[in-house]
Amino acid sequence: MTATPTELAGRPITGDVTHYADAPVEQHPIAALIELLDSLLALPGTGAVRWEQFTPYFNDGDACTFSVAEPSLRVSPPTSDDADPKTSTEPDNSDEDEVEGDFIDLWSLQYYNDPDRHDEEGWTPRYPEATAEIVDALEKFSNALQSGAYDTDLHTHFGDPAQVTATVEGFTVEHYEHD
């Protein structure tokens, strides 16, 4: 935590200096986040990464501050023409909490691909293209993205509110409606 300054422009600051919100998170160079993103996007089977970033309108009495939501992933379809229809990458939109269009959140990738969580005979992963390496890389990127350490650059480059989709070709930003 940064100490409160005791002077400004050569003039002393005296009195009880308080802060309504927590001190801002120390910012890191955006290049470190882009390196994690590029590592994820370089993995075979990774199509795109998407996240939302915004300042909430209401935060139950707490300060409304800019933040970034957990990213989700679009896996690439199999490249072979004889892909098994049981392992299709077509999204199962029956549970809207887990799939946003064809983007899948980290929890769903971890849960539905973990054989230790399923004891049915003949069970197969729901997202077989999302290898353990992809899930691990997404988790590392997610932790960095949501750490707050890149919020200033993310806000500057993509705006507020925004839905950001990243691919190896670039970034697409769309206005994001949030509650």
pLDDT in tens, 87-133: 444 444 444 444 456 899 999 999 888 888 777 777 888 888 899 99
The pLDDT of residue 100 is: 54
* pLDDT higher than 80, residue 41: yes
pLDDT in tens, 56-66: 888 788 878 89
How far is 61 from 65, CA to CA, in rounded Å?
A: 12
H or E element: which one contains 107? helix 106-112
The pLDDT of residue 21 is: 62
Burial class of residue 79, CB neighbours in 10 A (0-12, 13-18, 19+): exposed
| Percentages (nearest 5) of helix, strand, coil residues in the chain | 25, 20, 55
